Amino acid sequence: MKPPTLKEFFRHLPEKLDTDAAEGLEAVYQFDLSGIEGGNYFLTVSQGACRVNEGKHDDPHVTLAMAGEDCIKVLTGQLSGQMAAMSGKLRIMGDLGLALQLRALFPGIGS
């Protein structure tokens, strides 16, 4: 079931975390999202758990900037993150490796 808003999407994201994939990972993902579904959110992945906060983190490991609707498409597998980056829809600042790992941390989102 697809949440109706980006805020709802992020609220349910921690439930979808693959704890095995997150084992040993300590990372902060900042999402700077534009458009109607825009906003600022950051995910803290630590000790096999995920926490979501609204706003901007002071020192994220990686920042992903895109339109809110594209963010949901990328995280649910409807849009390739690589294609979004190559077409300019997604800007990645910081640790590219963490950005590439994001989809694997939440494999159940698209289902």
Tens of pLDDT, residues 37-66: 789 999 999 999 999 999 999 999 999 999
**pLDDT value, residue 3:** 47
Whether residue 67 contacts residue 5, with contact meaning beta carbons closer than 8 Å, is answered with no
**pLDDT value, residue 4:** 58
Residue 28 has pLDDT above 60, yes or no: yes
- For the chain, which residues make up each domain, given as ranges? 6-105
> Could you give the CA distance from residue 55 to residue 41 in angstroms, rounded to a whole number?
5
Q: Hey, what are 47's tokens? A: 């000790």
Residue 1 has pLDDT above 60, yes or no: no
Cα–Cα distance list, 33 to 40, 42, 49, 53, 102 (Å):
6, 11, 23, 14, 16
pLDDT in tens, 62-82: 999 999 989 888 888 888 888
Residue 90 has pLDDT above 80, yes or no: yes
Residue 8 has pLDDT above 90, yes or no: no
The average pLDDT across 1-28 equals: 86
Instruction: Identify the CATH number of the domain defined by range 6-105.
Output: 3.30.1050.10
